Structure 1
Amino acid sequence: MNRIKCECGHVNPEGTVLCEACGKPIEGNQHIDGNDGKNILNMRYDGTARRSLTYRKSFVDKVWGFFSSVKVGVWLIVIALAASALGTIYPQRPHIPANAISRDPAIFYEQTYGVTGKIYYQLGFYDLYGSWWYMILIALIGVSLVICSLDRFVPLYRALKKQKPKRHVTFVSRQRFVSETENVTGEEIQKVKESLHKQRYKISEEDGHILAEKGRFSRWGPYVNHIGLIIILIAALLRQTPWFFLDEYVWVREGEQIVIPGTDGEYYIENKKFILELYDESDEKFRDALQKQGELVPKNFQTNAVIYKKNDDGVIGAESSLDKVIEDQIRMNHPLKFDGYTLYQAGYQLDEFSTMSFKIHKKDDSDAKELASFTVDLTNPEKEYDLENGYRVKMGEFYPEYYLDNGEPRSKSKYVRNPAFVFYIYAPDTSQPEVSFIGIGRNIAADDNEYKLGIINYTTHDVSGLTVRKDYTLPLFGLGALIFMIGVIQGMYWQHRRVWIHPQNGKVIVAAHTNKNWYGLRKDIEKAISQTTIHEVIDRQELDQRNETKGGKS
């Protein structure tokens, strides 16, 4: 790495625009950070060297330079926002309704949304936020933020760390705010110092040169923003891992005990009872609204649940026992929380079939006298039933939620809401079965059948729809958002202001610089010199613009 020695004796890194010690412009390097040789110095990072603008040779240098570009970072964010918007057109895979005809994405999107849904699925937008390319895009934004921050933070830190009152005359005379005054007394300079001190400027002196500075911490606002954004991006990536985020939907029947999905078989839930309460139509407060609704409106639906935890005693071959963790009610807006998991009451299904009993009778028997009967457990149906009197029945097909699709029997879901069956009936001492199709409101048997099936009884139960959620990323999102807002406030409501008082050959040069709010800085200076003969500072940028305008007109 080449070094550049200034006439003041300070050795600067290659790429430095303004000497780190005295501030004198280094000839030939002004173009590196955008200084075009005009009267006003480019004070970005106080002229210190940036890696991305200095090193351009190796592959690492080129990658660093690419990601250090603000334009690259902005385009990555724009692409991510556009992709995120596409992901909101249709529900993402985890949010396919539990009561959908099919929760298989390949079927759901085409059946529900037609051709556009099919295209949406084929392009992979149905699982956008968990896709590999979206994760890479988020990671690239994080890489861009880190490299952008380091590329600018390091030179800025070096520049601000070496703030000296004594600067080269070129440095102070080429600031945007400058004034020159002759015959300034020491008392007047002292008044200026005291006034600036009262305005909460920090005063430092060196050989009669004075630097008044305040609000330096505001320069770190953008980098604090970046830290907050990086934490948010990390939280977004962690949200795709099962260790930090879980969002599952499960149906639990009354009296049923099942494993809670996403807990690796560690936790179980038992639905002791489902309760549904409706608004009373006779209640005057809600009568008009209920009549407009035209249907029953739930006031409350809840699940009385018991949570168990699997207890392995450590004995090989021994059955695991279940220890009760908590027993409570799960209601709308009143979830049940345990060991980092949260259960929300999200839906319900009333009167789902539990069992259905059938009888066999002669087809031409007008009294339908029962020859044999059997009961099917619809939650766990058997394939074959051996009955009394030598009869035998095999289940050929079972449609939990029966419907016809182009004349073909199908099931909308696996939930037993409209059951239908294809049974094979074996009479005593026969090997050839008779085929019967039976369901609610339908009973079809072949013309040459001797026997027929009939429904004699059924039982129902209610089913609770619960959302199982675990989210350890929320604290990270909250921390990132808090840090981001601190950076916004830090950079928005404070400014880094500097005023140099430079004695030079019997006159005093007053120069000033700020990263923003030049009007406020001018007011501070006017207040400080109000009781002295020191001239007001001139805004050289406005003066140059006026001269250019006059030159153009002439």
Structure 2
Amino acid sequence: MRAFLKEIARDLYTFFTSITLAIVLISLIALLALLGTLIPQETFTREVDYIARYGVEGYNTLKKLQLTNIFGSWYFLFLMALFTLNLAACTHKRLMASWRYWKLPMGFIRPEDLKRFEHSYAISGSVCSDASPKIREVLQRHGYRVREHNSQILAEKWRWERFGIDVFHISLVIVIFGGLVTMLFGYRTFAIAHQGDVLRLPGADFAVRVNRFWSENYKNSERVMDWRTELTVIENDKEILTKTIEVNAPLRYKGYNFYQSAFGTDWQGAARVTLALFRADGTALGEFVGTVDDGFAVPSENIFVKIGAFLPDFALTENLIAYSRTQRLENPAVFVEIYDAQGFRLMRTWAFSRPEMQRFWETTMARVGGETPYRIKLVGMTAPEFTGLQITKDPGRPIVYFGFLFVIVGLLVHMYFKHRQIWVHISENEIVIAGTVRNNLKSFAEEFRRLVREIERLQIVTHPESELVV
């Protein structure tokens, strides 16, 4: 049984250390990330906008496949989990190889073999007795760690650079872990706020009040240059701090971030409309004022008019679902329902500001559903300005930053430091110098020449005859 489990563990280790698996996973993750940029994601997209773009069936299909929330879907998280395991297994495998390389000491190499190195230099002649300490001093001056073994000087530097790529791999695991921390414990939302609103966040022991907000235009232009919002943090009924935020200059407090994200008139969320109400025979019942998600009573008729929605630019999808094409007052419309005293719905309809749209709608509804007991016209509308705040809590951000820092460190070590080794064999009538480097042969060739020239200038060989191979 133990042998069987060991075999399964070995097969799993082989599977997760596969480069092919890494390529497949990276390709799939990149494909999903691309889809996530092409298909609007739920955080900042309304349901009606999906329906307007894809239709009811298309939207339901996207939602069922979790394509409107790709980065939170089970299959994206599953791929990320597999990639993390693959990366961790590959890192372990390479780290073990790097450790074995680190523990492998430089050893004695015969002089005839040293002469076959790509970088080698032989000086023949009578060698002085103090040659060894002088050569050691030259090598140490160039940063080499030096020791002697069997009449050979063994020098090396930057053996640790082999771990640079391992640091890079470990850093990627740290970055992924930081993203997972944010996904599990983070917070992200988009809030539409009006002047004086107090925002309370889940899990936070403070609130944020919106004092005021405004926009700034370019000089002699109506083009908006910047949006600004003044926020005050309130904790334990005390004002802690006040800050004016703008794009790319958020308020940060206790791990929460408040970004300036939008600005405009809140037609769809807080419109206040004036409606003219008529009986079916044309008798005017007066003008009444109400707000979205509320309404007004008409005592003379013993009815209640509920205002369900306001669209500043009314349009219909192919499936006859109403939505607003823009946030400008191009074709304003209000959806109303009328209830009797017992709560029974008498009718529901859209009321328009544009006369031609009102006539078209009433005519169409009369043909489809017959006469209605009341007629309604939209005669006025106002709405407060709003500021749009993107609110986030990203507890994994320090971990991600830490990971990226070491990604850079690992890459720099891997790119600019390469393990270098020098052998110097000293005999009575010859000095053989040879060197090797793990990579970057060109830069090592230049350093090897400098070392040879400095050793030659020591004049530790009389009547020298040299042979250089580079």
- Provide the TM-score with structure 2 as the length reference: 0.74
**Could you say what secondary structure the match of 1:91 adopts?**
coil
Match of 1:329 in 2: 244
Structure 2 portions without partners, runs of 5+:
none
Letter matched to residue 403 of structure 2: G
Aligned CA distance change for structure 1 residues 166 and 400 (closer, same or farther; 3 Å) = same
2: distance between equivalents of 1:63 and 1:377?
A: 62
Deviation per residue, 1:512-542 (Å, 9 max, x gap): 3221225245425532553544744647xxx
Give the superposition deviation at 1:484. Answer: 1.9
Q: Is the 8 A contact 2:52 2:317 kept in 1?
A: no
Provide the C-alpha distance between the structure 2 equivalents of 1:449 and 1:90, rounded to a whole number of angstroms. 41
Name the CA shift for 1:132/1:211 in 2 (closer, same or farther; >3 Å). same
SS for the counterpart of 2:37 is: coil
Normalized per residue, the structure richer in helix is: 2
The answer as to whether partners of 1:109 and 1:121 remain within 8 angstroms in 2 is no
Q: Give yes or no for contact 2:108–2:152 (8 Å, CA) kept in 1.
A: yes
Give the superposition deviation at 1:483. Answer: 1.4
- Once the two structures are TM-superposed, the CA of residue 340 in structure 1 deviates from its matched residue by 2.0
1:67 is aligned to 2:11: no
Q: How many residue pairs were aligned?
A: 439
Matches within 5 A, 1:46-125: 58-70=7-19, 72-96=21-45, 102=48, 107=51, 110-111=54-55, 124-125=66-67
Q: CA deviation at 1:180?
A: 6.9
2:163 matches 1:220? yes
Structure 2 counterpart SS, 1:240: helix
- Sort the Cα spacing of 1:406 and 1:133 in 2 relative to 1 into closer, same or farther, 3 A: closer
| Matching residue's letter, 2:41 | Q
Structure number with the bigger relative contact order (C-alpha 8 A, sep ≥ 6) is 2
2:388 is equivalent to residue 475 of structure 1 = no
- Could you tell me whether the CA contact under 8 Å between 1:92 and 1:128 is conserved in 2? yes
2:140 pairs with one of 178, 188, 197 = 197
CA distance in 1, matches of 2:200, 2:274: 29
Residue type of the partner of 1:348? Answer: F
> How far apart in 1 are the matches of 2:377 and 2:25?
66
Cα deviation for residue 235 of structure 1 reads 2.1
Matched residue of 2:69: which SS?
helix
- Distance apart, 1:135 and its partner CA: 3.0
Structure 1 residues 498 and 524: CA distance shift in structure 2, 3 A: farther
Post-superposition offset of 1:381? 0.9
> What is the aligned-residue identity percentage?
20
Q: How far does residue 223 in structure 1 lie from its aligned partner after superposition?
A: 1.9
Correspondence for 1:399: 309
CA contact (8 A) 1:273 1:304 kept: yes
Partners in 2 of 1:448 and 1:74 — Cα distance?
A: 66
Q: TM-score, normalised by structure 1?
A: 0.64
Distance 1:77 1:335 in 2: 33
Give the CA deviation at 1:436.
Answer: 7.0
Judged with a 3 Å threshold, the aligned counterparts in structure 2 of structure 1 residues 168 and 138 are, in CA distance, closer, same or farther, namely farther
The amino acid that maps onto 1:90 is: I
- Could you tell me how far 1:154 is from its partner in structure 2? 3.3
**Alpha-carbon contact 2:98-2:163 (below 8 Å) kept:** no
Question: How far does the alpha carbon of each residue in 1:249-306 deviate from its partner, in whole angstroms, 9 at most, with x for none?
Answer: 111234444544xx347554444444344446xx3xxxxxx5xxxxx42244333444
- CA distance change for structure 1 residues 395 and 536 in 2, over 3 Å: closer, same or farther? farther
Q: Which residue of 2 aligns with 1:253?
A: 194
Gaps of at least 5 residues in structure 1 are 1-55, 284-289, 291-295, 312-321, 540-554
> Is the contact made by 1:270 and 1:306 (CA closer than 8 Å) also made in structure 2?
yes
Whole-Å separation in 1 of the counterparts to 2:422 and 2:348: 99
Specify which of 266, 275, 279 is matched with residue 214 of structure 2: 275
Q: How do residues 430-509 of structure 1 correspond to structure 2 at under 5 angstroms?
A: 438-441=351-354, 442=358, 444=362, 453=376, 459-502=382-425
Letter in 1 for 2:273: M
- Asked if the contact 1:510/1:537 (under 8 Å) is kept, the reply is no
Superposed displacement of residue 501, structure 1: 3.3
In the other structure, the counterpart of 1:41 is: none
| Compared CA separation, residues 470 and 265, structure 1 to 2 (3 A) | closer
- Tell me if 1:356 matches 2:309: no
Q: CA deviation at 1:211?
A: 0.8
Pick from 339, 344, 357 the counterpart of residue 254 of structure 2: 339
Deviation at 1:469, TM superposition (A): 2.0
Letter in 2 for 1:110: Y
Quote the Cα distance in structure 2 between the aligned partners of 1:273 and 1:501: 77
Decide whether the 8 Å contact of 1:400 with 1:411 is kept in 2.
no
Change (3 A) 1:520 1:375: same
Q: Distance in 1 between matches of 2:350 and 2:63?
A: 36
Aligned mates of 2:241, 2:6 — CA distance in 1: 64
**Distance in 1 between residues matched to 2:31 and 2:212, nearest whole Å:** 46
1:495-534 equivalent positions in 2, closer than 5 A = 495-502=418-425, 510-516=433-439, 517=441, 518-520=444-446, 522-524=448-450, 526-527=452-453, 529-530=455-456, 531=459, 532=461, 533=464
Distance 1:196 1:432 in 2: 95
User: Separation in 2 of the partners of 1:86 and 1:534?
Assistant: 69
Amino acid at match of 1:91: P
